[in-house]
Amino acid sequence: MARKKVIQIYEKTYTPDEIAKMFKISKNTVYELIKRGELHAFKVGNKMRIEESEVTRFKEGSKPSQAPYSGNNAHQSQILHIAGSHDFLIEQLIKYITGQANDISIQPTYVGSLEGLMMLYKGSCDVAAMHLLDPTSKEYNLPFIKQLFVHEKISVIRLAEREQGLITAKGNPKQIFSIKDLARKDIRFVNRQKGAGTRFLLDSLLAENKIDPSDILGYEVEEWNHLSTASYISGGIADVTFGIRSAATKLGLDFIPIEKEKFDLIFKWTSKNEKAIEFLIDILQVTDFRNSINQSEGYDASELGRVMFETKNWRKTK
């Protein structure tokens, strides 16, 4: 008796490395997405795998929502996609909105200020979070925004001013006090990824101090958020990083202030996200969200909700 041939079809799967190449992000970002539950994976032994159907779902979820927002209709859910710089204030904002509305949610993608702005430009998100210093004008964000967005409906809203500086181990055992100390031969550094606003600022400061990056031990070692770089210091893997005061505070590390920078949210208005964006701006301008920022060390919320720029004042004339 002939045996029946059984054919079992398995769904194609990807490794985190393949996902990183597919979306042009780092492998660390892929693991962050998995950790936050935004990308679902399973283990084969001790290796992570992501099914093709999950990749498709993630791609679709990363696009700006097509559902109209309605504050009076709970079953019509609107997802606003924020892409760009990672900051604890963004996490607080998402948590605050979750407690305020059942029919609007925020989906973050932390890819750095520059990539977030480019995603907004390409229409891959609704809001960009950024703090990019233009080294020529010494102005934050607007020089980049004005070059990219001419005909689109754009609003730039101030989130906060925050402190950037050097993060060292408790007690600052290596006696690191300035950017020039990064070039010392006994100092191990850990950096942020290319495209991050923090990396832009650091490189500008290195140029001002005439420091060649090749003279910094660890300059090429990159991480994708402030806690990751700060954890190198708390774990003794590196001696110093450049980051925000709140990351140092969270891990009980020392902080040497260097710069105060502007952190803004850039909104790209469409007919489909208009009501949801208006709701989000109301959160920034007329609610008590400011209180949560004032309780966070390293931030100044005095300009929270201020309109820094709008293309052609379109909201005032429509």
Q: Residues 245-256: pLDDT tens digits?
A: 999 999 999 999
Based on the domain organization, do 48 and 157 belong to the same domain? no
Same domain, residue pair 18 and 138: no
As a whole number of angstroms, the distance between CA 224 and CA 151 comes to: 32
| pLDDT greater than 70 at residue 163 | yes
- Predicted confidence at residue 3, as pLDDT, reads 47
**218 domain-assigned:** yes
Is residue 61 very low, low, confident or very high in pLDDT (cuts 50, 70, 90)?
low
Residues 67 and 51 in one domain: no
End residue of a domain, out of 61, 85, 102: 61
Backbone angles phi, psi at 129, to 5 degrees: -110, 120
What's the total number of domains in the chain?
A: 2
Q: Has residue 10 got a pLDDT over 70?
A: no
CATH number of the domain enclosing 17: 3.90.105
Which is more confident, 67 or 44?
44
Q: Is residue 145 part of a domain?
A: yes
Which domain range does residue 20 map to? 9-61
Do 109 and 38 have their domain in common? no
Dump pLDDT digits (tens) for 188-243.
999 999 999 999 999 999 999 999 999 999 999 999 899 999 999 999 999 999 99
Looking at residue 253, which CATH number applies to its domain?
A: 3.40.190.290
Residue 4 lies in a domain: no
**Quick one: pLDDT band at residue 72, thresholds 50, 70, 90?**
very low
User: pTM for the complete prediction?
Assistant: 0.77
18 located within any domain? yes
Cα–Cα distance measured from residue 185 to residue 52, given in angstroms and rounded to the nearest whole number: 47
